Amino acid sequence: MTTKVIMANDLLSGDVIFLSRDSRSWTKFLDQAWASDSEQLVEQMLAAAQDSHMIIGAEAIEVEHDHTGLALTVFREHLRSRGPSVRTDLGKQAELKQAA
Amino acid sequence: MYRYDEFDAEFVKQRVDQFRDQVQRRVAGELTEDEFKPLRLMNGLYLQLHAYMLRVAIPYGTLSATQMYKLADIADKYDKGYGHFTTRQNIQFNWPKLNDVPDILEELASVEMHAIQTSGNCIRNVTTDQWAGVAADEIEDPRPVCELIRQWSTLNPEFAYLPRKFKIAVTGSSNDRAAVKAHDIGIITHKNENGDIGYEILIGGGLGRTPFIGKTVKKFVGKDRLLAYIEAVMRVYNLQGRRDNKYKARIKILTHETGIEKLSEMIEREFERIDKAQGELELAELNRIESYFEPPQYSSEQDDSTALQQSLEANEQFNYWYNTNVAKHQQPGYAIVNISLKPIEGIPGDATSAQMRLVAQLAEQFSLSEIRVTHEQNLVLPYVKQADLFTLWQQLEQHDLGNSNLGLITDIIACPGLDYCALATARSIPIAQKISKVFADRRKQQDIGKLQINISGCINACGHHHVGNIGILGLDKKGEEYYQITLGGNADENAAIGKITGPGFSKDEIAGAVETVVNTYIENRQTDENFIQTHSRIGDVPFKEALYGPN
């Protein structure tokens, strides 16, 4: 079993979001995401997310652990989690840069 | 320009109110996402890779200065200070919030704009030649026909749930600048031996995963029967088009599988069933619409070309821009100014709110307050006095809009690709930027001459790569972006689908591969031969050998 996070879009903002470590709220940042390698737990969390009317398109997405923490393995999802590569002043990557 | 009548205004207002209610119900949990999605799409609202995206219709690419100011205001107030002009003459905002969208639509309605028919399986925004009404080679201004089709198709209950989306393009000139042969229906204006104006109808053109060039189904239909013929085509498609497989649902597949002769017979039968008396009403409506597109009151001042000549001789950069970006106008003393949204290493089609406001202001000052959007993702000021060209160019230069590359290798058409689009399999914009950097040198571009590069980030082909002289298709290969090259595509009156050269290239190799193709052209070209002419003469083999080696 690989490690997975729950990734979705927020209904109001459209932002890409992750289920948080508290497994109840949602966060915009992968480093604050809930992750599990239990297939059963992932399925439970995914079903709960899909039931929420404020969340769109919840999916379980594979991650790996690297020196920075969690990392998305597919380039498309990596882009989704950050923002357009051609406008690094926009999207979550810009917020992360500001916070740093 | 066409102005809304009371019915148009009321209809658009009702749609805004309706959508506001739908959004409220969605947020309150009364509508599921599955129920809400088709409703938001009917109002141009997509969910993309990072956020919502609102696609606003710009019917046949015509905008007033007031409308452009409004788009700039929306970009600042509700988005992130910019917009993206698309390959279908529309504009997209990439970051709107759901609760703001009804307000955005209300603001758009205040300047006679909306986002209807920019999504879904309906007849989409009708597109045309960006030089409509001013082109020196024009038989007829195609915009009244576009407007007639827009009015007929909007909310037409018969065609609200087509098998698939449906795109119509019209050209008023035999030099096709609207890529009509790549559309579901392409309309070409002709004048017959009696001097009557009529229309050639092509069907079954389209790009995407199965590209086809449109085929002529009717050589000449008169003005009074044009809409009846289009209606006949739509009825046959609506009945016969496949609904079991979305990849085979476009009219191009129906045309290919049925054959143009048989389909033509079916359309003719339907055409004959449509009451001919209907034509008189349609003709009257067309005449009414035409009155909105009467040529403007051109200045009666004598053209003084001396000042222009002096500026051209004194300023090399202006001279270059003039020769590249200014086109011949049908009115003596006037010019068509093309504003390139393709700065070197820029994002094709993107304009900041400041740039939008500048263009609006320049339109007010120099172009009778009118602007056009091109399917090549550029802008046009259609009514500029030649005497104003130098002053206008200076202002464009000051705001990074004086790019002198129209129709050249750096005037690249590119879809948003994986940087924004949820359907994309690879990025398009960074590839356009890399290629533009490789060919940044102005003299090099000039030496290469007319050459169209089109880039799509997936097989849906929004970047129209199939009809690029050099087409680039971005794909995903085991998690890595790679890019196929096609050569020999063409979007004009000699429309052709490009052929794949061979295996694709990585994102780091693709700009170099394009340079290899261009160098092969330069080595093989004859005097005054452009890229597509050389390719047509020598074929694919020299290009393939240059890219992959012999055999």
The confidence score (pLDDT) of residue B220 equals 98
Range of the domain at B372: 305-398
Q: Looking at the predicted structure, is the pLDDT value of residue B303 above 70? A: no
Closest alpha carbon within chain A to B433: A86
Chain A residues whose CB is inside 8 A of the B418 CB are: 75-76, 79
Average pLDDT of span B395-414:
96
Query: How many contacts (CB atoms, under 8 Å) link A and B?
Result: 65
ipTM summary value: 0.96
> One-letter amino acid identity for A96?
L
Which range marks the domain in which residue A50 is found? 4-99
Locate the DSSP E strands across B73-196.
82-85, 91-93, 127-128, 168-171, 185-191
CA distance B490 to B497: 7
Angle at CA of residue B298, ends B295 and B304, nearest 5°: 145
Q: What total of structural domains would you count in chain B? A: 4
Scanning every residue of chain B, which has its alpha carbon at the shortest distance from the alpha carbon of A85? B419
Residue at B70 is within a domain: no
**Span B32-83, pLDDT tens digits:** 999 999 999 999 999 999 999 999 999 999 999 999 999 999 999 999 999 9
Residues B233 and B355 in one domain: no
pLDDT band at B538 (very low <50, low <70, confident <90, very high): very high
With CA atoms as reference, report the closest residue to A49 among A3, A7, A2: A7
Residue B289: its pLDDT value, please?
Answer: 95
Q: Which of B40, B46, B49, B435 to mutate to test the interface with A (most CBs of A within 10 A)?
A: B49
> Looking at the structure, do residues B48 and B90 belong to the same domain, yes or no?
yes
Question: What residues in A contact B476, CB-CB < 8 Å?
Answer: 76
Beta bridge partners, B335, equal B328, B384
**Alpha-carbon span A93 to B5, nearest angstrom:** 46
**Which of A72, A76, A82 has the most B C-beta neighbours within 10 Å, making it the best mutation to test the interface with B?**
A76
Q: Are residues B145 and B223 in the same domain?
A: yes
Are B25 and B149 contained in the same domain? no
pLDDT of residue A46: 96
Dist CA B43 CA A27 (whole Å): 29
Query: B36 CB near a chain A CB, below 8 Å?
Result: no
Give the tens place of pLDDT for each residue, B72-126: 999 999 999 999 999 999 999 999 999 999 999 999 999 999 999 999 999 999 9
Classified as helix, coil or strand, B3 is coil
The pair of structure tokens assigned to B400 is 């990074």
Identify the helix (H) or strand (E) that includes residue B63. Answer: strand B62-64
> What is the CATH number for B321?
3.90.480.20
The conformation of residue B57, written as its DSSP 8-state character, comes to P
Statement to judge: residues B189 and B277 lie in one domain: yes
Q: Assess whether pLDDT exceeds 90 at residue B530.
A: yes
Shortest CA distance from B53: residue in chain A: A14
Residue B485 lies in a domain: yes
Q: Percent helix, strand and coil across chain B, each rounded to 5?
A: 45, 20, 40
Residue showing tokens 């007639």? B148
Mutate to test the interface with B, among A16, A53, A59 (most CBs of B within 10 A): A53
- Residue B518 has a pLDDT of 98
**Quick check: B292 pLDDT over 80?**
yes
User: In the predicted model, what is the mean pLDDT of chain B?
Assistant: 96
| Domain presence at residue B168 | yes
Please write the tens of the pLDDT for every residue from A18-70: 999 999 999 999 999 999 999 999 999 999 999 999 999 999 999 999 888 89
Are B287 and B140 members of one domain? Answer: yes
What distance in Å separates residue B435's CA from the closest CA in chain A?
Answer: 14
Question: Which of B398, B433, B466 is where one domain is finished?
Answer: B398
- Please check whether residues B277 and B423 belong to one and the same domain: no
- Indicate the number of domains in chain A: 1
How close is the nearest chain B Cα to the Cα of A22, in Å? Answer: 24
- A51 Cβ under 8 Å from any chain B Cβ: no
Q: Tell if the CB–CB gap between A13 and B51 is shorter than 8 Å.
A: yes
What percent of chain B lies above the pLDDT cut of 90?
A: 94
Q: How confident is the model at residue B5, as a pLDDT? A: 86
Helix (H) or strand (E) run with residue B9 in it: helix B6-27
> Do residues B138 and B281 share a domain?
yes
Residue B73 lies in a domain: no
pLDDT digits (tens, 9 = 90+) for B318-362: 999 999 999 999 999 999 999 999 999 999 999 999 999 999 999
A52 touches chain B (CB under 8 A): no
Q: What is the CATH number of the domain that holds B477?
A: 3.30.413.10
Which helix (H) or strand (E) is B538 found in, with range? Answer: helix B531-538
